[in-house]
Amino acid sequence: MEVLRIVIILLLCLLTINVSAQKSFLLSGVIRDTSNTPITQAMVTIENTNIGAYTDSNGSYSMKVKPGEHTISISAYGFNLQKETIKINNSTNHNFTLKKLLVDISEIQVYGKTTSQQLREGSFTVNALEVRNITSSLSDLNNLVGKSSGIKIREEGGVGSDFDLSINGLSGNAVRYFIDGVPLSSMGNGVSLANLPVNIVDRIEVYKGVVPAHLGSDALGGAINIITKKDKQNYLDASYGIGSFNTHKADFNSRYVHPKSGLFFQSSVGINYSKNNYIMKDVETRIDNKFVTTDAERFHDDYLSLLTQFIVGINNTKWADLFSISASYFNADKDVQTGSNQKHVYGMVTQNNQTYHVSAQYRKSKFLTKKLSTDIHISYTWDYKTTTDTAYRKYYWDGSYSPSQRNERLGGAKSIRHINTPLGIVRGNFTYTINNKHSLNLNYLLNHLTNDLYDDLDKEFKSSQNVFSRHIVGLSYNQQLWNNKLNNAFFIKDYISHLEIGQDGNYWITGAREINQSTVTNNYGYGFSSRYSFNEQIALKASYEHTFRLPLAEELLGDGLNRVANFKLKPEHSQNYNFGIFGTFNKGSKHHLFYETGLFYRPVEDYIRYVADINEGDGGQYQNVNNVTVKGIEGELRYDYSNTLGFIANITYLDERNKTKYQDNGKPDISYNNRIPNRPWLFGNLEINYRKENPFGRRNTLLRLSYVYQYVHWQYFSWQAYGYEPGKSRVPSQYMNNADLTYSLNNEKYNISFHCKNILNQTIYDNFRMQKPGRYFFLKLRIFLN
Amino acid sequence: MKKLNFYFNVLFIAAMSLTLFSCEDEETTVDPNPLDTAHFDIWVSIGGTGGMGSENTQLVQNTKDLDNASTVIDYKGTGVDVTAKLFQESIIKGQYYYQIPQEKDRFGKYRIGTTGIETIKEIAFGTNTYKDRRYAHAWIDDNTFVVLAANGDKDGIIWTKFNAADMTIIAEGTLEGLTDGLDAYSTSGLADYRASDNQILYSYCHNSSSKRDKVYMAFINANDMSVVKTVEDNRASFMAGTAYGQLLQDKAFFDENGDYYLACNTKIDDGNTSSTEQYGSLLRIKAGATDFDQSYLGYRTGSNGKGKLITVQSLESGKALLYVQDPEYTQAAGWGSNYNCFYAILDLTTDEITVLDLPFSEGTFSQRSVVLGNKAYVGVNPENSAPCVYVYDIENKKLTKGLTITEGYSFDRIVTLEDAK
């Protein structure tokens, strides 16, 4: 309630901001580019005042100005800054024409609104993160996403380790990942934010709770959409980085466009390698049959991933705005050092992921009719995952081992376990523009896979093959009213799943005989998002979605290792509410302050959780076990001074409660309404950026310095209220200090950056007893030619 | 039976004391109260059962008040949260818990107090390595226990003998001389030590549930762990526990005559039932014998012969306390339903069943009953009231209500331990 009170006071304070009504004249007009196309979200400011306005979707602006001579400054993303002095004696209509930048727009920062900022100021609650501008200094995308508001990434180790990303408290499979609107899994189950080449990415959109229908998502907690670069020009972008713990990263991205035909060829490669041989502090190892605490180097944590992609396509023909065919290959070899607890040490377990992927995309505006545009994507993926666990050894942290009678991970017989998952995806997106204020969008997403499990060595393992299809249809209506002050989107979604069971083993556990061999489920979701902008300083947004998340293949069909199938699994569902307030204060053209705060509420039912097996044998299965409610508040401030000094601060508070009143046996659950343990609930980030053009007197150079402080408050490992409190296990508070230094030459063609993570070399855990790397240095060289 | 060792010790000392005391005054014969030097640990969990690898929060609280009907225990701010360290499945003797803890790479000796876990000693595995929660054990004497389990390939049974006092490995190896012809052994069997001939009785079956059609018993020389004899009995398909030994639940016992009773189950085979739908039976090995007693098959008449034996414990005097799952008798909806279990007394001579007048209970992965002195403490988790303990007076056959546990916890286990000295 205290938090709510503060928000209400803040709201009232902001509402009382009043623009003084002195005698003034109206200055209005239209901003266009040289081809006479209106420019939206261009910023028009009166120098040395705090008066300014953004253009609407027609490129129009208007503002009240005192009489006299004024210098008008117009800036827009991708255009040259323009200044003009005009005399105002009465209401004046004045149009401006901006010239496009001739260089890559990433090299210039202007105060016009970027796509990301426009997205942030849209009706959905979204973190829009620019990658393009910081490609030179970024080592991986997790680093960027993890420090944004409301997001927490919990990593289990170093490069290539498993991680869990939560959006406003909901994590794991509740979050869906997309790349250009298509499920990221189409590139392979092993492809993630952690190993995707940084320099193919333009920006990342993180939708919190309410997800637009065009993503075709059945996400419960939100969705992450990675937008790749689509520059229509030739370029070559190559980088190589070397870091602590024998880490090497190389990214290559190039594009050639044939100017006459519009044909283009794009290739990209991303390589990640690390030995991850960082020091584990205060771990136990064995000396003479006794356990002693010591520091030890990780010895079986090598990770090597390779992602290659080749795209050939054509732009701007009569029959297509874009038509492309793409093929990619992904391979990851990973040594598995530990189990779910760092005390479970492995020395020989390995995993391999291999994925082959082909796809085609067709995009066309004025498709069939003048007002219809379409975007169609078809892909097929061959995904192979192999886990090898054949050593009869028991390893210790010093790398020594003793002979054992069982394999390392499952404690059973030697095993080479395969999961082959051929996956087909079809996405069709159609937008019908009724007029410039109203549009309809229809999205269809088909996800069809086969899950083929078998083991080369373990005779006890029962092979299986199941087929699972998911269809998600979304229809949305978007409107922009009252000169774009009010922006609404209404949508409905239909979630359909089709399961064909091809296994009968353990039918009393999997429920294989309790449902039809071929089963179809159908659920409807709906929602809206709305934003009302009072003025530049204050805007309100609200959104709601009744959403379902269909079980994933692994949850429904098992993983062949320690997850048993559960064919009776129901979709989990929630009502997601967001309410936010945001705005921008500009003082002259130098001071810019953006603020945003949001409240969220997520009552989740039939939450799908992994439940350890209470029958004989290993592992367990996913079950609809409980109801959970997450509510919280988050806030972010962004300040920029003259494109030189910037501050970003955000903080998130979560209150995640168990709302399961009764246990499976029908009796009350003592933990009802208690805070869910072992989840971060208070965390924040502070980022300070300094940018200096032409430092040290050298022209066309740029120096960037960045410092990031990340904080996560401690949490209980198990239920807080029960048991003697001083004796309870905790995941301790985390304080992490990171710094970046980037120096660019020749208009950012040549870049060198130096990154230091965990400067103070503190022992850091994201999860209970899963130690992360200590101080980490990374040096990156990047060449960008266009 | 293992837990009764402690009682025998107490009883022996008490008897000696009484003998001495009787020299002075033969008319004064006061039974010692075992709880003068012992206590109970009550294990509960939050959100479901805490055993069998569950990740639910597990809490342990010491008490001596099981007899007291007015006592209600809660775990809010009290009790020890053992979730991060210990499993509920444990070898228990004297003051201590012995087990492979959450680290899964060692054997440890622990004591649970009122504020935390005291680690007495932990040692690494020797040559033989075991899987957490999946091993059988037998106490050879007060300071020596042996653990047994199938190896990873399930083609051999490994064993390790420990000195419990200083937690050292005395010896280890693989059972040699089994004559069963099996190609895959159950993850673990059930083990008990017979002092009269210094033999460990280790029962086991086939690893695959579809190939389980008889129970095997190895008679093992406790000195050198050599297999003296292997026998089998096809009157039951498998033992009542095939993976977890008796770390959580009591599945076998010696009666006061030294006869060994082994709880077994057989799948109800009507063509469309899960392997967890079983009926139980008791097999017997007479004192000193090295084969199953073919003249005896216990629990023939109980509950239409369909009830599945979950736990069995000796009450002495020719009686046994049974915990049985039977949806037919309890009129539950089915085997997967809750509250389909009941407690009963089995007369080992007549096979007569006397169902205790207690509410039907929920939970098949629990051990809520212990026998201490002349009382059996029987914990129930009934549908319409809070979980509680009933005290059964073995001599007088009377049931009285005892301690209650605040509603909302999963009541998993009662353990008896000596007080810390």
Q: What is the ipTM of this complex?
A: 0.83
What span, in angstroms and rounded, lies between the C-alpha atoms of A224 and B377?
Answer: 56
Strands, E assignment, A350-502: 350-364, 372-389, 393-395, 401-403, 415-420, 423-435, 438-455, 464-481, 486-500
pLDDT digits (tens, 9 = 90+) for A585-616: 988 778 999 999 999 999 998 888 766 543 33
- In this prediction, residue B12 carries a pLDDT of 44
User: CA torsion A470→A471→A477→A478, rounded to 10°?
Assistant: 50
pLDDT digits (tens, 9 = 90+) for A150-187: 898 888 889 988 888 888 888 878 899 999 999 999 99
Confidence check: pLDDT of A109 > 70: no
DSSP B216-279: EEEEEETTT--EEEEEEETTSSEES-SSSTTSSS--EEE-TTS-EEEEEEEE--SSS--TT-EE
Which amino acid type is present at position A638? R
Q: Do B84 and A729 touch (CB under 8 A)?
A: yes
For residue A513, give the chain B residue with the closest CA: B272
Q: Which helix (DSSP H) or strand (DSSP E) does residue A3 occupy? A: helix A2-15
DSSP A349-361: -EEEEEEEEEEEE
3-state SS, residue B408: coil
For residue A404, give the chain B residue with the closest CA: B129
Mean pLDDT of chain B: 89
- In this prediction, residue B171 carries a pLDDT of 97
What is the pLDDT confidence band of residue A266, given thresholds at 50, 70 and 90?
A: very high
Q: Looking at beta carbons, which residues of chain A come within 8 Å of B166?
A: none
Closest CA relative to residue A64, chosen from A640, A535, A486, A484: A535
* The total number of residues written for chain A in this structure: 786
What is the pLDDT confidence band of residue A508, given thresholds at 50, 70 and 90?
A: low
In percent, the amount of chain B with pLDDT more than 90 equals 74
Q: Nearest-5° angle of CA A732, CA A736, CA A738?
A: 170
Q: Looking at beta carbons, which residues of chain B come within 8 Å of A290?
A: 122-124
Q: What is the separation of C-alpha A491 from the centre of its chain, rounded to a whole number of angstroms? A: 22
Q: Looking at beta carbons, which residues of chain B come within 8 Å of A460?
A: 154, 184, 207-208
- Please count the helices (runs of H) and the strands (runs of E) in chain A: 5, 48
The residues facing B215 across adjacent strands are B233
pLDDT digits (tens, 9 = 90+) for A348-364: 999 999 999 999 999 99
CA distance B142 to chain A (A): 23
Q: Looking at beta carbons, which residues of chain B come within 8 Å of A391?
A: none
- Nearest CB among B78, B129, B132 relative to A724 is that of B78
pTM of the complete model: 0.82
Tell me how many residue pairs between chain A and chain B have CB atoms under 8 A apart: 180
CA distance A671 to chain B (A): 7
- Nearest CB among A396, A403, A718 relative to B127 is that of A403
- In this prediction, residue B177 carries a pLDDT of 92
- Nearest CB among A289, A508, A669 relative to B47 is that of A669
Confidence check: pLDDT of A208 > 60: yes
Mean pLDDT of chain A: 86
What span, in angstroms and rounded, lies between the C-alpha atoms of B94 and B320?
Answer: 23
Contact A244, A278 (CB under 8 A): yes
The residues facing A636 across adjacent strands are A596, A650
The residues facing A519 across adjacent strands are A499
Q: Do B207 and A723 touch (CB under 8 A)?
A: no
Indicate the range of A215-224, A747-756, B163-172 predicted with least confidence. A215-224
3-state SS, residue A65: strand
- In this prediction, residue A687 carries a pLDDT of 95
What span, in angstroms and rounded, lies between the C-alpha atoms of A279 and A301?
Answer: 12
For residue B79, give the chain A residue with the closest CA: A723
Closest CA relative to residue B222, chosen from B163, B165, B167, B161: B161
Q: Hey, what domains does chain A have and what are their CATH numbers?
A: 2-102 (2.60.40.1120), 115-785 (2.40.170.20)
- In this prediction, residue A568 carries a pLDDT of 81
3-state SS, residue A49: coil
Contact A583, A637 (CB under 8 A): no
Q: Do B116 and A724 touch (CB under 8 A)?
A: yes
pLDDT digits (tens, 9 = 90+) for B38-63: 999 999 999 877 666 667 889 999 99
**What's the mean pLDDT in B62-70?**
94
- Sheet order of strands, B319-325 included: B308-316, B319-325, B341-347, B353-355
Q: Looking at beta carbons, which residues of chain B come within 8 Å of A667?
A: 362, 381, 383, 407-408
